[in-house]
């Protein structure tokens, strides 16, 4: 593709995933007026080989162009999302994106976790290393930029905490007001504090995430408010770039498996869309299997597939310590279904003790993540045992949120009281060897040295 194509608008349109209706401008609830289903962005010039040729799309040239932007200091080149702008719907000429230099996240090796899971090697793409410490920033930069372009003064979302933190930041950067609806008492303090800091009008509703979504859907019908939940297809376009950046980091060698946590199922949908588009455009030679992992207590997608063959989804009352994915009625389940089916992936669910253990294992490799991200490792362990993942296959975990997002979980885990009074209390005893409670000592040298020696002895006895 011609690098100066930059200044021309990349043609994209919206297509309903249910009835195929094609439009250029969605209603405020981002639902199809005909059938009520969701829209996705599509690029007419990618439709077939002939149109791709006519549009000058050349995989090799794109790879070079994206790499060359790494030596540029322009904001839209230093953003790890807009660097891949040929894969995104374009803003109008003259419009600059709202960017906090999102994306550009590291790919880490996790040797201890690989051993624990029974695979030869294991990589983690850490989307928690984004400006507001979750993957949401990659989608917020695109959708918030479209909100501003359309002239909205208010943006809004319902959230389990990360979307709201991200939206509040991008709204502030873009000079817009933001309205956050979160379930009272069910999100981490760290995430709540972020949305306050970035100046959002933050409403804690006495309901769960799904209840917040219901309220917000009515609000956007009655007020000129731009909806920034992941039903907004421009969010998913930005989130696609995590998969593009991942393949670039792997020198365009596709891994065998990618594991992603599933909540509202926007992220798995976005990653799946990117994988399919990269294959279609010749950027990658094959598809990795994309698998979605849910918490057992918030497993509507797993149940939909296991109990109804993915034909319907029955909402559940969600409950899990991984509050980010405490979601019972995921909006994007049909898109996520297509992502796993077209890549040959699967779904798995994991229990609370498995999640806590996996999070500590990731931590012990020197990489912090929030509980919702750790379902990926817990799920991988199950999929290795079941033989779905072979020990020699290459696997990438998508870590969605930073370890400091939910320090209360981590502290309770290490102090040993995370599961006190829960039905997992007994099962959680297996976690004792992973717990590292802080040690309170008198302020003298001998007691510190004694402690050191005790640990030395324990280590040499292993």
| 3-state SS, one letter per residue, for 104-123 | CCCEEECHHHHHHHCCCCEE
Nearest partner of 322 among 365, 368, 375, judged by Cα: 375
Nearer to ligand F0G among residue 79 and residue 160 (C-beta): 160
- The helix-helix angle for 59-68 and 241-249 (nearest 10°) equals 90
Walk across the sheet containing 107-109 and list its strands: 107-109, 122-126, 395-399, 257-261, 289-295, 347-350
- Interacting residues of 170 by C-beta distance below 8 A, sequence separation 6+: 98, 100, 137, 140, 141, 144
Nearer to ligand F0G among residue 65 and residue 324 (C-beta): 324
CB of 97 to ligand F0G, least distance (A): 21
CB of 379 to ligand F0G, least distance (A): 12
CB of 268 to ligand F0G, least distance (A): 6
Q: Are residues 293 and 260 in contact, defined by beta-carbon separation less than 8 angstroms?
A: yes
Nearer to ligand F0G among residue 89 and residue 403 (C-beta): 403
CB of 270 to ligand F0G, least distance (A): 8
Q: Per residue in 264-279, is it b (16+ CB within 10 Å) or e — as a string?
A: bbbbbbbbbbbbbbbb
Neighbours of 384 (CB within 10 A): 19
Nearer to ligand F0G among residue 244 and residue 375 (C-beta): 375
- Residue 277 CA to residue 243 CA, distance in Å, equals 11
CB of 88 to ligand F0G, least distance (A): 18
Nearer to ligand F0G among residue 239 and residue 284 (C-beta): 239
Q: Are residues 274 and 246 in contact, defined by beta-carbon separation less than 8 angstroms?
A: no
Residues near ligand F0G, by CB under 6 A: 134, 136, 159-163, 230, 261-268, 324-325, 370, 372-373, 400-401
Residue 426 three-state SS: coil
Taking the CA atoms of 140, 95, 275 and 109 in sequence, report the sign of the dihedral they define.
Answer: negative
CB of 402 to ligand F0G, least distance (A): 9
Query: How many helices and strands (H and E) does the chain possess?
Result: 17, 13
Q: Are residues 213 and 188 in contact, defined by beta-carbon separation less than 8 angstroms?
A: no
DSSP 314: -
Maximum pairwise Cα distance, the chain = 77
Nearer to ligand F0G among residue 76 and residue 261 (C-beta): 261
Nearest partner of 255 among 283, 281, 280, 290, judged by Cα: 290
Nearer to ligand F0G among residue 62 and residue 276 (C-beta): 276
Token pair 């320090």 is found at: 407
Nearer to ligand F0G among residue 310 and residue 401 (C-beta): 401
Structure-block tokens of residue 214: 């219901």
Nearer to ligand F0G among residue 62 and residue 228 (C-beta): 228
């Amino acid at each position: 593709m011609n690098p100066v194509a930059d200044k021309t608008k990349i043609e994209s349109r919206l297509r309903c995933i249910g009835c195929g209706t094609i439009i250029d401008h969605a209603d405020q609830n981002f639902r199809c007026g005909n059938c009520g289903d969701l829209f996705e962005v599509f690029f007419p010039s990618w439709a077939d080989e002939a149109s791709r040729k006519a549009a000058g799309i050349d995989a090799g040239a794109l790879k070079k162009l994206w790499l060359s932007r790494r030596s540029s200091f322009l904001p839209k080149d230093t953003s790890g999302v807009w660097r891949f702008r040929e894969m995104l719907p374009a803003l109008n000429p003259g419009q600059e994106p709202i960017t906090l230099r999102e994306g550009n996240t590291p790919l880490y090796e996790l040797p201890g976790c690989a051993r624990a899971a029974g695979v030869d090697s294991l990589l983690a793409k850490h989307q928690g290393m984004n400006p507001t410490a979750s993957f949401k920033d990659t989608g917020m930069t695109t959708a918030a930029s479209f909100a501003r372009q359309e002239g909205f003064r208010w943006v809004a979302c319902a959230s389990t905490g990360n979307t709201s933190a991200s939206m509040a930041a991008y709204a502030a950067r873009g000079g817009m007001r933001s309205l956050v609806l979160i379930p009272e008492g069910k999100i981490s303090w760290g995430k709540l504090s972020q949305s306050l800091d970035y100046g959002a009008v933050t409403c804690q509703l006495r309901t769960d995430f799904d209840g917040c979504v219901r309220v917000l859907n009515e609000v956007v019908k009655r007020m000129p408010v731009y909806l920034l939940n992941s039903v907004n297809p421009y969010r998913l376009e930005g989130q696609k770039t995590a998969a593009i950046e991942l393949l670039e980091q792997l020198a365009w060698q596709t891994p065998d498996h990618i594991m992603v946590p599933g909540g509202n199922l926007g992220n798995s949908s976005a990653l799946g869309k990117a994988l399919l588009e990269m294959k279609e455009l010749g950027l990658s030679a094959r598809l990795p299997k994309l698998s979605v992992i849910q918490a057992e207590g918030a497993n509507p997608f797993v149940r939909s597939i296991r109990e109804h063959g993915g034909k319907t989804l029955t909402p559940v009352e969600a409950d899990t310590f991984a509050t980010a994915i405490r979601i019972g009625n995921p909006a994007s389940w049909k898109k996520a279904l297509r992502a796993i089916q077209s890549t040959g992936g699967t779904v798995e669910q994991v229990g609370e003790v498995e999640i806590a253990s996996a999070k500590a294992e990731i931590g012990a490799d020197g990489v912090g993540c929030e509980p919702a991200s750790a379902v990926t490792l817990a799920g991988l362990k199950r999929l290795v045992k079941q033989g779905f993942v072979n020990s020699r296959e290459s696997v990438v975990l998508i870590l969605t949120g930073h370890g400091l997002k939910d320090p209360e979980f981590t502290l309770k885990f290490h102090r040993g009281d995370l599961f006190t009074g829960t039905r997992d209390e007994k099962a959680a005893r297996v976690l004792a060897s992973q717990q590292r409670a802080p040690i309170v000592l008198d302020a003298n040298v001998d007691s510190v040295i004694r402690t050191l020696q005790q640990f030395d002895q324990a280590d040499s006895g292993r």
